[in-house]
């Protein structure tokens, strides 16, 4: 299968999550109301959307790790004459591992999105828990910590004059997750987190 066809599968997961997170998500979420009653609330829709976004980020990171391994075997997985070229970046030994742990970037992405997914699922399962603000801030902090890493990877792309579409989708997914956690943060501070309960009674 063409690599861009596979990338579009990850993209569909992420796009679906983004749609759920937007105000348009309420009509999409209606499909899940009977099975997942939490999606009747705005909070539940954002959390459901973030689960899809994190899942998409995880799968595209896993595919990046797969490509990293395949390239080391000598295969060509995403090369081309255009600026869009993964082989030149994921297959470049100078840039394809993180400078601190020397681990492939795909694995780092898998770990990061697993952690974000854990925050999201935990918040979704117990939204009224006293630790919820801690997990929201944890997710926010983790996604903000991802920004300098993204800047480093983009600097590699600029240096090589190439764009790795798979890596770029992962970077965008991190930014979407950051926006999602920020929305949750703002919502928790307001009465919209649990409209049935007043903020004062939650504390």
Partner 1 sequence: MHENGFAKFGENMKSMLHDQDASARSDAGIIVMSMFFAGLLVVAFTTNPIASGTKIGERAPEFTADAYNGNGWNSFEFESLLDKSWTWNSSEESPWIAVEFLDIDCGYCKNSATEVGEWAQMYSAEQWPGPDVVFVAVAVGFLGDHTRAEVLEFRTQYNNNFLYVDDLDISIAEEWEVSATPSYFLVQPDGIVAWNSNEATNSIGWDPKEEASTPLNGFDDGYVQLNEAIEQLTMLNRGE
Told to check if 166 binds partner 1 by CB under 8 A, we report no
Stretch that binds partner 1, among 3-11, 57-65, 141-149, 184-192 (CB under 8 A): 57-65
Look at residues 37, 39, 38 and name the one whose alpha carbon lies nearest to residue 28: 39
Stretch that binds partner 1, among 10-18, 24-32, 108-116, 187-195 (CB under 8 A): 108-116
Told to check if 111 binds partner 1 by CB under 8 A, we report yes
Told to check if 73 binds partner 1 by CB under 8 A, we report yes
Please report how close the Cβ of residue 27 comes to partner 1 at its closest, in angstroms.
Answer: 27
- Residue 90 near residue 163 (C-beta atoms within 8 A): no
Stretch that binds partner 1, among 20-28, 56-64, 175-183, 192-200 (CB under 8 A): 56-64
Choose, by CB under 8 A, the member of 130, 190, 200, 201 that binds partner 1: 130
Choose, by CB under 8 A, the member of 24, 131, 141, 145 that binds partner 1: 131
Told to check if 74 binds partner 1 by CB under 8 A, we report yes
Q: Which residues bind partner 1 (CB under 8 A)?
A: 55, 58-59, 62, 65-66, 68-70, 72-76, 93, 110-111, 114-115, 117-118, 121-122, 125-126, 129-131
């Amino acid at each position: 299968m063409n690599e861009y066809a596979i990338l579009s599968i990850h993209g569909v997961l992420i796009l679906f999550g983004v749609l759920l997170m937007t105000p348009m998500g309420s009509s999409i979420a209606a499909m899940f109301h009977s099975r997942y009653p939490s999606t009747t609330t705005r909070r539940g829709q954002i959390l459901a959307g973030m689960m899809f976004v994190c899942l998409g980020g995880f799968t595209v990171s896993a595919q990046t790790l797969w490509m990293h391994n395949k390239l080391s075997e000598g295969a060509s997985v995403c090369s081309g004459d255009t600026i869009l070229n993964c082989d030149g970046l994921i297959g470049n030994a100078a840039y394809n591992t993180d400078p601190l742990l020397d681990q492939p970037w795909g694995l780092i992405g898998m770990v990061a999105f697993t952690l974000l997914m854990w925050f999201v699922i935990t918040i979704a399962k117990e939204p009224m828990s006293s630790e919820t603000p801690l997990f929201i801030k944890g997710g926010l902090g983790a996604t903000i910590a991802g920004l300098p890493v993204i800047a480093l990877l983009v600097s590699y792309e600029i240096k090589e004059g190439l764009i790795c579409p798979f890596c770029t989708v992962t970077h965008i997914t991190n930014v979407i997750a950051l926006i999602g956690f920020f929305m949750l943060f703002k919502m928790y501070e307001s009465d919209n987190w649990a409209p049935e309960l007043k903020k004062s009674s939650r504390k």
